[in-house]
Structures are given as structure tokens and as C-alpha cells.
Amino acid sequence: MRIDGRHRDELRPMAVTRNFIKHAQGSVLIEVGDTRVICTAMIEEKVPPFLKGQKQGWVTAEYEMLPASTNTRKSRDRNRGKIDGRTMEIQRLIGRSLRSVIDLSKLGERTIWIDCDVIQADGGTRTSAITGAFIALHDALTGMVKNGQIKEMPVTSFVAATSVGIHQGEPLVDLCYEEDSNAEVDMNMVMTEKGEIIEIQGTGEERPFNKEELAKLLSLGEESIKQIIDFQKETLLG
């Protein structure tokens, strides 16, 4: 049994509160264990300059960990005068993950802004943000179809993410902070409902890992993402 009593292939409890923010076209509070992220989707009636006149839309993301999200206060990026490398990496990952399952030609010349704000961190903030952001985006797009802003749903597949890793010699899924910070191998996986890989970020934190261990982690992550996508579908489609 693990630190929090789970089996090695067991996800943390997941909960989603939809319509969490009044003014956003799509918004959720996603809770994955003790990690909590607010994800919003807001529509802007223009595209970046490089897409002007191309008759397609854009989906982009911003991510931030709020000051009290960790046990020691995290300084806001604006106080340092720049976005730190980790933040930039994660928000680009969120944007790429969502764009990969959206037919941008069906959006018209609009941008959908995804904002993911971590209000409490206990491991898996980027993977939770991707899972929650997709739900917020799906709600925003559903509203656009109902309002006649777009003719049809541009979603080509569901997408979700989770972490896997090796801790004390055991392959684990959905690592909490204590497991993640002491993991020998750490990996984040983003996949579609079709089992297609969008991104894998894997690192031997304390030691190299071999092909057999990689295969176990990939299998563990894939099965877990299927469960998360089932949860997304139940949340969105009933």
C-alpha cells in the first residue's frame, strides 16, 4: 500500500465542479486528491496576427500556481518580471494538448483562452490542468454550438493526462507530491481516447530506467488515462 493507502495502479479520487466561474464560457474546479486547479475557457473574437485571414481559430493556454498553493509562499511571476521556465513549459503543454483534439478550421477566426490556476498543489498539477481544461473547453464549445457561433462541435477526440513513475522500485500511477519528489523515475503522459500519444515527458530522476520499466509505465499510464476519459465523458455527457 502507498502513502495514502492506494494500490500502485489506483488513481486518486477525482471530482469536478462545472460552471465554477460566473463569467467564463466554460469553467471547472478539478480536484485530484489534494491537488486543486481552476480551469476556465473564454472566447475572444479575434486570432493572433499570424492567423489573420486564415479562416481558422486558435486555442492557447496560461498556467500559474497561486502563492498559497504550496506550503511555502510561491512568488507571483509578475514580481520577478518574467514567467519562469516551468510555467512556460506547462502552459505550452496544455495548449498543445488541447489543440491536438480540436479542428481549428471549425472555430472561425476566434481564440479560446484556457487559464489554469493551481490553488492547491500535491503533485500532478499539469496533468490535472489538462484533464480539467478539456472539460472547460468542451463546455465552452457546446455553448458556441447552441448559440449558433459555430455550426458543429470541433472536438475530434477526448484528451486527458496523468503521471506515472517508479518509487521505491515500484511503478505507480498518479503520484502525490511526496511520491513524486522522491521518485526514481518520473513521467507525465497525455493521450487521446483513441490511445494516441500526444506527449510523454519522462526522466530518470535518480537512476536510468530500461525498456521493460518504460513499457510497464506506458501500460499503467494508458489504462489510467482510459479511466480518466471515462470520468470526463460521464461528467460531460452523463
The three state secondary structure string of the chain is CCCCCCCCCCCCCEEEEECCCCCCCEEEEEEECCEEEEEEEEEECCCCHHHCCCCCCEEEEEEEECHHHCCCCCCCHHHHCCCCHHHHHHHHHHHHHHHCCECHHHCCCCEEEEEEEEEECCCCHHHHHHHHHHHHHHHHHHHHHHCCCCCCCCECCCEEEEEEEEECCEEEECCCHHHHHCCCEEEEEEEECCCCEEEEEEEECCCCCCHHHHHHHHHHHHHHHHHHHHHHHHHHHC
Q: Is 2 inside a domain boundary? A: no
pTM above 0.85?
Answer: yes
How much is the pLDDT for 84? Answer: 82
Q: Is 123 inside a domain boundary? A: yes
How much is the average pLDDT of 107-130?
A: 97
Beta bridge partners of 61: 114
Dihedral, 78, 82, 85, 86 alpha carbons, nearest 10: 10
* Residues flagged as binding site: 86, 124-126
Q: Is 103 inside a domain boundary? A: yes
Which CATH number do you get for residue 143? 3.30.230.70
The sheet with strand 170-173 has its strands ordered as 170-173, 159-167, 185-192, 197-204
Q: Is 72 inside a domain boundary? A: yes
Q: Is 8 inside a domain boundary? A: no
Q: Is 4 inside a domain boundary? A: no
Q: Count structural domains, the chain.
A: 1
* Each residue's pLDDT tens digit, 10-30: 999 999 999 999 999 999 999
* Each residue's pLDDT tens digit, 47-62: 999 999 999 999 999 9
How much is the average pLDDT of 201-209?
A: 93
How much is the pLDDT for 77? Answer: 78
* Residues flagged as binding site for phosphate: 86, 124-126
Q: Is 136 inside a domain boundary? A: yes
Rounded Cα–Cα distance for residues 202 and 196 (Å): 17
Q: Name the residue range of residue 159's domain.
A: 14-237
Averaged pLDDT of the chain: 95
